[in-house]
Amino acid sequence: MPRRKSGILTARVDKKKHLRNLKIKQELKKSVKKFKALLDAKNAVEATTFLKKIFSLLDKAAKKGILHSNTANRKKSRFKKSVLRISKAA
């Protein structure tokens, strides 16, 4: 445990940031899971509309430093390719 006042304040801020980051990560993981379920169900139309939400969540996470920007871009690219693959097959 920190002993100095500045250390105590820093620990409090770090805890708040940690909780915020966890909330954002959990929302992102839930959305990706739902998106993958849409892909498994071969539902290209709903997956395409849901893709916008995932792109938004990934961009926000990258902007806040929760994900690296290249990681977010790579995931967006892979999700887009998977939607295109399903829409071509349908």
Q: What is the pLDDT of residues 49-70, one digit of tens each?
A: 999 999 999 999 999 999 999 9
Architecture of the structural domain at 5-89: Up-down Bundle (1.20)
How far is residue 79's CA from residue 51's CA, in Å, rounded to a whole number? 8
Q: What is the pLDDT of residue 33?
A: 97
Q: What is the model's pTM? A: 0.87
DSSP state of 41: T
**Among 88, 84, 89, 75, CA closest to 47:** 84
pLDDT over 80 at 90, yes or no: no
User: Which of 39, 41, 45 is CA-nearest to residue 78?
Assistant: 39
